Every structure is written in C-alpha cells, then in structure tokens.
Chain A
Amino acid sequence: MSSSASGDRPTGRVTGAQAVLMSLEALGVEVVFGYPGGAILPAYDPMLDSSIKHVLVRHEQGAVHMAEGYAHATGRVGVCIVTSGPAATNIVTGLADAHMDSVPLLAITGQVATTAIGSDAFQEADVTGITMPVTKHNELVGTVERIAAALKEAHHIASSGRPGPVLVDIPKDILNATVEWRWPEHMELPGYRPTVRGHGKMVREAVELIGRSQRPVIYAGGGLVRAGAAEELFELATLLEVPVVTTLMARGVFPDTHELFVGMPGMHGHYAAVKAFQETDLLITLGARFDDRVTGDLGSFAPHARVIHVDIDPAEIGKNRVVDVPIVGDAKVVTGQLVRAASDKLDLVKPDTTAWRAHLTELKAEHPLRVEQPETGVIKPQTAIRAIHEVFGDEAVYVAGVGQHQMWAAQHIPYSRPRQWINSGGLGTMGFAVPAAIGAKAGLPDTPVVCIDGDGCFQMTFQEIAAAVQADLPVVFCVVNNGYLGMVRQWQSLFYDDRLSEVALPQDLPDLVKLADAYGIPGFRATTMDELGPVLRKAQEVTGQPVIVDLRVDPDEMVFPMVPAGASNDEVLESAEEWYARARAIDLPGDGVPAE
C-alpha cells in the first residue's frame, strides 16, 4: 500500500480490509461499533490508522443496537462491524429491530474464506441467508474489486427510500486480497428507485378531501421523523388547523405542548388520541403504517374515516387499511407539497375545525393520564418518569427499553422535537435501551442522553456500560426498578386472573449501586418520594462519566389507558378499577383473554 488509510487518499494497491476502511471514510462515517474476531481481523489492522472511531462493545447485540441508537439520534447511517458465525448471529435481533423501525444501518460481517464457504468451516454461518428476511438488502461480497461498490450501495440503500438495515458479508480472503483503490463514482442499482415526489393529482385530491372534512386528524408516524419532516408537518397542521396525533415512533415530531397536539394513539395511548381516531372523518396518515398496536381490532378502527395515506413504501399503502387517497413519496417532500397545494387555495380547502378542536381539547381536559401519587413514601413509576424530565429537561434525549416504563416514558414526558425520543417500537426488543443510549451519545456528545430502562431490560444488556465507560460516553442510566417484568405481570394480572408466573425479579438482584461501583462510576438509589428529586439532581450533576440511578418504584402500578389486545379502540379503559368493573360486568375470569 502506498499510504495510510486515513488522510491523503492512497492511490495504489490496497488490501480489501483497507478498502473497507477507506470506503467508510469516503462515506463520511465517523464512528463504528464493533467487536473483533477471526474472519474480520484483517479489517481491525487498518482501523489503527483510520480517522474512524471504534467503540468496543461487550456483546455484538450491543454493537448493532448502538448503531441503531446513533442512527435514531442523528439521522445518519449507524455502522457496526463484527466477525463471522456467532458474532453475526448475535446481531440478528438488532437487524430485525432496525428493519421493523426503518432505522438506517450498515452491518459489516466477516465471513470464512471463499474457498471454505459451504464446508461447515469454523465459525461459518450462512449470514446472508439468515438475515435476508430481517434486512432491507444484503450481499455476500464475491471479489475484492466489489468491496467499495458494495459498501457504497449498501449505505445508499440503507439511507434512502424507506430506510433500513443493509448487511455486507465479506470473506476473509477477500479482505486479504489486494486491489487498485478506486472509489466508484456511480452505483448500479437498476431495480432500486424509491419514489420521492408525490403524484400531483393525488396531492390535489388529498387537499380537496381535507377541505371537505369536518373532523380531520393527522396520524403522524415515524416516517416523518426519518424524513426530517417536522417543519413541514408543523406548517401543514397549523395552516389548516388540523389536530395531530403522534405514534410511539413519532413522539416529538410535533410538540406536545402545542394546542393542536392530541396525544399518542394505540394500546396505551392518550384517551383523547384514541377517541380522536374513532370519531374522525378523515385520517391524514403521514409515514405511519396502521400497526396493530395502534389500530386494535382493524374492523372497528376509525370507522367513520376516509383515509389519505402518504408513505415512501408503496407496500404499506393499502396493506392494513383501505385507502381513499394513496400518495407514494417521501414524507417531507409530500407534506411540503400538501402545504403548498393547500396554501394556493386556502379559503377553499381549510376545513372549519373549531368545534372539533374544542371537543378534543375538552376530551383531553376530562381524561388526563391518571397518577395517584401520595406525597410521601412509595414512588409511583409515572412520578419517577415525570421527575426525570423535570431534572433533565427538554434538552435531553430519552431512550427507553420495552415494557411498562417505556409506555410511561412515552406518555408522561412532553416531547418537543423529533429524535428526542428513541425506542424499539415494532419489534419491542428488551435490551435495546442501554446500547441504543450509548450509540445516541456517540452521535450527540454535547446532548444529555438519559436511558430510561426497566429492571428486566437493563439486565439483558447492561454489560455495555463497560463500553460506555471505556469509550467515554457518559449516559445517565435510570432504571425504573419495579422488581418485576412489569408489563408481563400486568397481562397476567388482567388476563390470567392475577396468576403471576415467572415475572418476579428481586429489586436488589443485582444491587445496582454496587454494580455502578463495580464499573467505577457513580450510582444512586431513590426509594421514597423525598429521595427522588435529590437523587436525580445528583445524577445530573455528574459530568464526564456514566451514572446509574436505581429508582425503586411501586411494583403494583399498571399502565393505563389500555385497549386490550385485539379489542376495538372503542374499549379504551382508563384505570384498573374501570378494568375490573368491566370484567365483572361481562362476567369473565378477571378479564377477556386477549384475542391474539
């Protein structure tokens, strides 16, 4: 090789491994999350000379979730790099997670040498085969000449259209082979051409439909976040005075504090938002996909609504719900088109939503989230979440795990900007939060990143705290410690007559303050209301290193509102009392076992 992989672009012959690093540099990658091993070893040598930072994880699942967290937080492609076989299979969960939530991700895996493929060689796994259904695309690189093009295409596919994970599997002999370095100018992807601009006629039809509506509501989904469309959304909503509902994946894309904000829809959504969907006559669906956790029983979802559906993925349109005006295109571009089309003839197409908005405002006021917090003693988990927000404020990014704490964090923090809320929505991956928060911090070094995790989730991936310490990524890890797999316990309470089966996690196993100590970082615990505020403030004052906060909360609390799985959204229940009253009324054992 004629020069180092970093800085001045070498022109001579380089190894495949060097080509990998040089390609990543050419793509503007600043950090990769990874773990070395046999087949990928050649790539770890030129890494020493590269400008790209490497975060050494403790388990490959950590690497892929960190890459996701980075992508969620920055909008840029997250990159992880691991070896073959068991390392590659360890990232499958994260790939599936990124696939479900449309997270732009590039995964590079080492593979056994070309000559050994198919021979059940040491640490061989059919990684492109295994990951085919959970990636947007993948490729087993066949020649060293192909490396740069494969990575450039993978990066492009991951970040364009409907974003998603793309995996590039590179055999070891190809990493060791040499090639004349050349960064390809073009990509040859004849079968890949996402539609970006919405069809003009459809846009006009959509605007006319809005004009004829009386109770329109914007169903804002994660696609708006991916597209960076918060501004356009704000313009559209305020221009036409249409109320906005933000899904779990879209929290923050429209400010919660705005008067047009209604809430989050779905199984654990805000009452007013769930009702808004049931009563609306027009769903303006932007980058959302009628997920079953939003719709409940599809047949009775939004029964009076006509539907405008904007999505960059044509397959989402008409998949779950019949659509009146389909618009394929990028959520930012199309929402902008809608704004312009509406501004052109505002007096004709602006619906009078005065009564409708007043009605929703009233619903919001009459049906707030319910928290019964005694002033002293036990901390209600909802109070813990609100206190976290009070201390860390609007400036922080919040990353949640999966379970009750996730729903409370989605409900009780007033989000004000996109990418302020990061979670695993589609796959519901426990263990996501710790590494995702670390990845987010790597992308946003100047922003406070607060991980709000469950005690169950935390124990799935907390080994990555070592990576955070070592790579100097000071995340605040708050554990909403209820001593249970709370969400599962809630289902057992409601659907299985309170027969709790394998859901108890002793609150001090492990002792999280001692755990912090073991990692050489500060750890705090709050057990009662008077400790909550001071402990969080102490955690906030820690600078330059991660910190663990053990928040011992009331184990008996349940998440409400709740629409039972598979039930109609008309059946939104606001409290446990209401739940049990309903169960008694229809004389079911504790419930109605969910229809799924």
Chain B
Amino acid sequence: MIQRHTLSVLVENKPGVLTRIAGMFARRAYNIHSLAVGPTDDPRVSRLTIVVGTEAVQLEQIVKQLNKLVHVLKIVELDPAESVEREMQLVKVTADPDTRSQIIELADVFRAKIVDVDHDSLTIEAAGAPAKLEAMVELLEPFGIREMVRSGTISLARGSRSITDGSKLRMQRVV
C-alpha cells in the first residue's frame, strides 16, 4: 500500500549534498512528494524534510540508500500523528470589489494573512498542515487563482526530545 512518509534527514552542510540526495531518488526511481532544506542550530548541519509516497518495503530501501551517502548523518521517520507538520503557501487570487471581503473572511478562517493587495487581486499567505492548505485552495478556486506557490513540508516531532541531540550526532567523531 502506497503511503506518505515524512523523513527528517540531517546532513553535513557540504557542497552538492542536495544533488546527491535528489540524484539518488531519481536514479532509483523513488518518488519525492516534497523536499525542504534549511539550516539547523549547528552551522555544519542542514536538515531536510523529505515526503515520499511509497510502500513499506521501498521505504526501508530509501532509508538504507540515503544512509549510504557519506554526508548523511541521521534519518528519522516522523509519524504525522506525533509531529507538527507545516507547509507555507502564497496564493494570488482575483479579487474585485464584490468578492474582496469574502476572500478576506475566508483567509481569516484559515488564519491566513493578506500580504499584498492590488486593484484586482489579493495575495494570501498561509501556513499549516498540507490538508489545511489544500482545503483553503479549494475554497479560493472559484474566485480565480492567478498564481500560487507552496513550500515543501517541514516537520518536528512533538514533545521535548530532539533528533539533533549533540551526543547522537557525533559531529566530532573522528576515524
């Protein structure tokens, strides 16, 4: 059964590391839903959130193949029920004087912000779990979506534990 899985991947912040990961996915015909990269509190370490749609057997292969990359430090699968997942979205919607207030109301419901206004359009910024953003887009559609952009998922496990615990990362590790 194909399911979405969210992998949090800590990597050494080295040139080409993203290419290595993307290349591995492409070469082995694995499917990436979304990918987000950014810094962590340690400048030597970047954190990727990769959402894949795959079967359990293949997920195991993906994790193992990722682990073989020399710059990959740690991989954790995040359970959506036990983690906070967020995506960010910007949507430019057609807005005339008749629809403008309806759109603003709708944005409010989704705790989205209006970040740009023009004569005949509004740009909405929303953040949230993927399902929430999808619902918002669906409701905005009838007004006419001119353009939209959405980030990859980022995710953190709930609770106080951290996957970047220094001792586990062993950045100091030498051979």
Contact = CB atoms under 8 A, between A and B. Distances in A.
A318 B20 contact: no
Interface in B63-86: 64-65, 67-73
Interface in A466-514: none
Nearest to A138: B16
A318 B60 contact: yes
Contacts of B174: 186-188
A318 B55 CA distance: 14
A136 B27 CA distance: 14
A524 B27 CA distance: 46
Contacts of B70: 136-137, 157, 189, 191-192
B159 interface: no
A443 to B, nearest CB: 26
A436 B12 CA distance: 36
Interface stretch (B30-38, B95-103, B165-173): B165-173
Nearest to A315: B64
A190 B170 contact: yes
B175 A142 contact: no
B61 interface: yes
Nearest to B26: A133
B27 A190 contact: no
B11 interface: yes
A399 B24 CA distance: 32
B149 interface: no
A128 B70 CA distance: 14
Interface string A133-151: 1001100101000000000
Interface string B127-148: 0000000000000000000000
A156 B174 CA distance: 12
A591 interface: no
Interface residues of B, number: 28
Interface residues of A, number: 23
Contact of A314 (B19, B20, B64, B71): B64
Interface in A315-337: 315, 318-319
A550 interface: no
A140 B15 contact: yes
Contact of A191 (B12, B23, B64): B12
Given A191-B12, A191-B73, A315 B23 contact: no
A137 B68 CA distance: 10
Given A133-B27, A137-B70, A315-B65, A188 B57 contact: no
A128 B16 contact: yes
A544 interface: no
B69 A191 contact: yes
Interface in A386-412: none
A307 to B, nearest CB: 15
Interface string A115-136: 0000000000000110011001
Contacts of A188: 173-174
A483 to B, nearest CB: 38
Nearest to B74: A191
B40 to A, nearest CB: 14
A101 interface: no
B175 A187 contact: yes
A314 B171 CA distance: 22
A313 interface: yes
Contacts of B24: 133
A133 B20 CA distance: 8
Contacts of A136: 70
A191 B61 contact: no
Contacts of A142: 15
B72 to A, nearest CB: 5
A321 to B, nearest CB: 11
A314 B67 contact: yes
Contacts of B64: 314-315
Contacts of A156: 175
Q: A129, A156, A190, A318: which has the most chain B beta carbons within 10 Å? A: A190
B19 A132 contact: yes
A129 B67 CA distance: 19
Contact of B11 (A186, A191, A193): A191
B82 to A, nearest CB: 25
Nearest to A189: B175
Nearest to B17: A191
Contacts of A193: 173
Contacts of B27: 133
B111 to A, nearest CB: 39
B157 to A, nearest CB: 21
Contacts of B11: 191
Interface string B1-31: 0000000000110011001100110010000
A94 to B, nearest CB: 19
A471 to B, nearest CB: 34
Contacts of B12: 190-191
Contact of A190 (B20, B60, B69, B73): B73
Contacts of B175: 156, 186-187, 189, 192
Given A129-B19, A142-B15, A191-B11, A313 B68 contact: yes
28 contacts: A132-B16, A132-B19, A133-B24, A133-B27, A137-B70, A140-B15, A140-B16, A142-B15, A156-B175, A157-B70, A186-B174, A186-B175, A187-B175, A188-B173, A189-B70, A189-B173, A190-B12, A190-B170, A190-B173, A191-B11, A191-B69, A313-B68, A314-B64, A314-B67, A315-B64, A315-B65, A315-B68, A318-B61
Interface of A: 128-129, 132-133, 136-137, 140, 142, 156-157, 186-193, 313-315, 318-319
Given A132-B16, A189-B70, A193-B173, 9 more contacts: A132-B19, A132-B23, A133-B27, A187-B174, A190-B171, A190-B172, A191-B72, A315-B61, A315-B68
For the complex of A and B, 6 pairs with smallest distance between CB atoms? A186-B174, A315-B64, A187-B175, A191-B73, A137-B70, A190-B173
